[in-house]
Structure 1
Amino acid sequence: MITHFQHKPLYDNQNMAGWRFSFYFNKEKHTGIYQANGIIEWTSSIKIADKEALIKQVHELMAFHVYDQ
């Protein structure tokens, strides 16, 4: 389960979509960039076994926090 999810704009010009995000999963901090087209660029290492579940959860959290406001 993802905890302490945070996001902030990637660009100073907030009219441009893109966000940096971070969260904890299994007591490890993970970071990445969420592009406007939904592509996630991981800036920390993640275990292959966790990757699909984390991608789904990040998409859901971004949809809730950014797009559904």
Structure 2
Amino acid sequence: MLQHYSYKPMYAGGNLPGWTFSFFYKNQRYTGDYMPDGTIDWTSETPPDEDQVKKMIHELMTFHVYE
């Protein structure tokens, strides 16, 4: 489970798409960039269960950003 998930637009005003995010997973902090096409670029170390974590991030972004 992701804890303390937060995100914000990459660019001031949100005119261009893209978001930065951060969260804790298994007591480790991770950060990355979420692109409009669903691509995730990690700006920190990659989580150990990357595929599972990506699914959780996609669900959160779909819920918070696209709806």
TM range (shorter): over 0.9
Q: Give the fraction of aligned pairs with identical amino acids, expressed as a percent.
A: 43
TM-score scaled by structure 1?
0.90
Counterpart amino acid of residue 39 in structure 1? T
TM-score scaled by structure 2?
0.93
What is the alpha-carbon distance in structure 1 between the residues aligned to residue 12 and residue 32 of structure 2?
17
Tell me if 1:23 matches 2:28.
no
Match of 1:57 in 2: 56
Tell me if 1:2 matches 2:2.
yes
What is the alpha-carbon distance in structure 1 between the residues aligned to residue 32 and residue 39 of structure 2?
10
Counterpart amino acid of residue 63 in structure 1? T
Deviations 1:5-42 (A, max 9, x none): 00000011412110000000000000000011110000
Counterpart amino acid of residue 18 in structure 2? G
Counterpart amino acid of residue 20 in structure 2? R
Runs of 4+ in 1 over 4 A off after TM superposition: none
Tell me if 1:41 matches 2:58.
no
Structure 1 unaligned runs (5+)?
none
